[in-house]
Amino acid sequence: MGENILRKIGGQYIAEALNTLSDTEKSKEDFMETMIELPLLGLVRFQYTSA
């Protein structure tokens, strides 16, 4: 998918994905990811990279 999928999904799903991640302020990981099931799109992977 070449375009930004975040433009296609609702904010509640983004919040749901972020809530499944560890606390980014306490984590020692530079990269985290999670997968959630979205209506019409199926399983979608969310990735977080700390700056």
What's the average model confidence in pLDDT over 5-31? 80
* Residue 9 pLDDT > 80: yes
What's the average model confidence in pLDDT over 16-41? 81
Domain coordinates in residue numbering, the chain: 5-49
| 18-47 exposure pattern, b = at least 16 Cβ within 10 A, e = fewer | eeeeeeeeeeeeeebebebebeeeeebebe
**Residue 2 confidence class, pLDDT cut points 50, 70, 90:** low
Tell me the percentage of the chain whose pLDDT exceeds 70: 84
pLDDT for position 18: 83
**Residue 4 confidence class, pLDDT cut points 50, 70, 90:** confident
